[in-house]
Amino acid sequence: MNPVLLSIILIPALEIYLFIKIGSQIGAFNTIILIFLTAIIGVYYAKYEGLNTIRSGIVQIFKNQTPAYEIISSAAIAFAAILLILPGFATDFLGFLIIFPITRKLIFGNLTKKFKKQEPKKNNFIDGEYEEIEDNDDRKI
């Protein structure tokens, strides 16, 4: 079966199960408040982390380095914000995992190594050829 189709079926089923279990423990009203609270906190934190990632990317550009991690991290933060806006506890958990810098670095750190190139070593000399010309030579320079 197609993994996308399977996830479209299983994720809402998991969310409904978690709504029922958590709602029976803390109550329906508290469950709804918790869903809205995680969405608000998550979107605010996603905005904060997104701005930090943009700052870090600009610093990388000024250093003449490729901001590969920052590009991947920005896309991950946008995806995490979408997960946090969607109502549900499993999507909120996954969204918070992606949004925190420590876990994001663990998840996406290996991807950036593929995109970064080895920077050439800078040499402090210039290659060139020369020819000695004597003073009494008739050739003009």
Domain presence at residue 72:
yes
Domain presence at residue 75:
yes
Kindly report the pTM of this predicted structure.
0.71
Domain presence at residue 135:
no
Task: Give the pLDDT confidence score for residue 94 in this predicted structure.
Answer: 92
Q: 18: domain range?
A: 12-114
Residue written as tokens 């920077």?
119
Domain presence at residue 73:
yes
**What is the count of structural domains for the chain?**
1
Domain presence at residue 110:
yes
* DSSP-assigned letters across all residues of 80-98: HHHHHHSS-HHHHHHHHHH
CB 83 within 8 A of CB 98: yes
* Rounded (5°) CA angle 64-65-68: 145
Task: Give the pLDDT confidence score for residue 137 in this predicted structure.
Answer: 56
The first and second tokens of residue 128, run together, are 């060139």
Low-confidence ranges of the chain (pLDDT < 70): 111-125, 135-141
CB 77 within 8 A of CB 121: no
Domain presence at residue 126:
no
Domain presence at residue 119:
no
Domain presence at residue 123:
no
Task: Give the pLDDT confidence score for residue 3 in this predicted structure.
Answer: 87
Please name which of 106, 65, 92 lies closest in space to residue 11, comparing C-alpha atoms: 92
